[in-house]
């Protein structure tokens, strides 16, 4: 396997956009929060971004916000790597959720509490075909291809946190094996969606009350973010960081600690100064399992800085790890993550 380099980073979050805004986080910048809009659940909101300047108006009108954010972040990554002239040969791997729901219709159904047959009728009558089609997760990949002329192979993965980690694993494996010379991989997530917060609140996964760091809470504070990275053979590029190892696993929730420990055992040698960065969500059992497998507290929780981005959470943590290497804060960074429901992942990055 040849070494794989991260050659471009496109990231937009509550902290703004681009490398500089997010490298500042590593120096202790405070999180950006909205604790009023969805009280009692704090979120890390997305600032206004110039979508109109990056996406043609005709395409923009057809997209939901999560698609716009993904397309925007993908463009940032392409430009950051200086690869506009090579998009025709670029492969694409996207991790995406199911799109946005008609939450007003959800509210009507919940208020009515209908029997199953009536609930089905309300859904059939209330959902517009165009809205249903807009929820297809692979529309983000299609929008990226159309907007940025990315013309290589395309794959979309679904599965919450595990899909984001798997997207990076597959991209790295393809570039490392020689089946791809250039790959764009990443995800986007909008936290400021009532229907998403409602679903996770019903599952008892959200943090309630004033914001607190991951280590001091047993619930998730979501954050909006779009994260894409370009990967290429390290010897043929000028990489920001080397993505030396990525591995994933998943299974029943009670096996999290053992699976993550096995992934850690399979890592290449780490130096004593290796920085440890966690993509933990803050969800109680999953985060505790991750800490148990690590045997020590991470140096940094990505969710403390950006919030938790579900499918985009692991790519965001890897992007921060690459920025830590680029800024000289670390020569080697270990990234770990355990999904709120399932899915474990590890990545090891090193300086070029």
Confirm if 222 and 196 have CB atoms less than 8 A apart.
yes
Domain limits, the chain: 4-105+131-236, 242-350
And the tokens for 253? 């929730």
At 44, is the secondary structure helix, strand, or coil? strand
CA distance 167 to 314: 10
In the chain, % of residues over pLDDT 70: 96
Question: Do 4-105+131-236 and 242-350 agree at the fold level?
Answer: yes
- CATH-assigned architecture of domain 4-105+131-236: 3-Layer(aba) Sandwich (3.40)
Alpha-helix residue ranges (DSSP H) falling in the chain: 18-23, 51-54, 57-62, 65-81, 103-112, 116-126, 129-134, 139-148, 160-177, 194-202, 256-265, 284-294, 302-306, 313-326
Structure confidence by residue, pLDDT tens digits, 163-219: 999 999 999 999 999 999 999 999 999 999 888 898 899 889 999 999 999 999 999
At 162, is the secondary structure helix, strand, or coil? helix
Q: Which CATH class is domain 242-350?
A: alpha beta
pLDDT string in tens for the chain (352-residue length)? 899 999 999 999 999 999 999 988 888 789 999 999 999 999 999 999 999 999 999 889 888 899 999 999 999 999 999 999 999 999 999 999 876 667 677 778 878 877 788 888 887 887 765 455 545 778 899 999 999 999 999 999 998 999 999 999 999 999 999 999 999 999 999 999 888 898 899 889 999 999 999 999 999 999 999 999 999 999 988 999 999 999 999 999 999 999 999 999 999 989 999 999 999 999 989 999 999 999 989 999 999 999 999 999 999 999 999 999 999 999 999 999 999 988 999 999 999 9
Which backbone phi and psi does 47 adopt, to 5 degrees? -75, 170
And the tokens for 73? 């972040």
């Amino acid at each position: 396997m040849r070494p794989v380099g991260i050659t471009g980073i496109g990231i937009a979050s509550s902290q703004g956009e681009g490398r500089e805004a997010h490298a500042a986080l590593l120096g202790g910048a405070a999180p950006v929060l909205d604790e009023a809009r969805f009280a009692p659940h704090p979120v890390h909101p997305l600032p206004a971004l110039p979508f109109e300047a990056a996406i043609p108006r005709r395409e923009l009108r057809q997209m939901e916000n999560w698609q716009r954010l993904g397309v925007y972040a993908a463009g940032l990554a392409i430009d950051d790597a200086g690869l506009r002239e090579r998009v025709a040969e670029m492969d694409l791997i996207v991790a995406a959720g199911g799109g946005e729901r008609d939450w007003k219709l959800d509210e009507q159904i919940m208020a009515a509490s209908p029997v199953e047959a009536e609930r089905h009728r309300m859904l059939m009558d209330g959902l517009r075909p165009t809205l249903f089609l807009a929820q297809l997760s692979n529309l983000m990949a299609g929008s990226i291809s159309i907007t940025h002329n990315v013309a290589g192979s395309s794959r979309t993965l679904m599965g919450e946190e595990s899909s984001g980690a798997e997207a990076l694993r597959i991209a790295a494996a393809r570039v490392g094996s020689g089946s791809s010379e250039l790959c764009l991989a990443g995800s986007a997530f909008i936290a400021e969606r009532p229907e998403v917060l409602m679903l996770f609140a019903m599952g008892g996964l959200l943090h309630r009350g004033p914001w607190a760091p991951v280590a001091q809470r047993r619930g998730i504070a979501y954050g909006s973010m779009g994260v894409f990275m370009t990967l290429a053979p390290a010897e043929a590029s000028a990489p920001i960081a080397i993505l030396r190892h990525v591995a994933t696993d998943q299974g029943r929730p009670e096996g999290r600690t053992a699976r993550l420990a096995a992934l850690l055992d399979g890592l290449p040698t780490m130096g004593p100064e290796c920085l440890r960065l966690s993509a933990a969500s803050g969800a109680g059992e999953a985060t505790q399992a991750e800490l148990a497998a690590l045997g020590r507290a991470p140096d940094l929780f990505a969710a403390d800085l950006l919030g938790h981005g579900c499918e985009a959470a692991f790519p965001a943590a890897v992007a921060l790890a690459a920025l830590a290497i680029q800024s000289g804060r670390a020569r080697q960074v270990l990234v770990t993550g355990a999904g709120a429901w399932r899915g474990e992942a590890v990545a090891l990055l090193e300086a070029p």
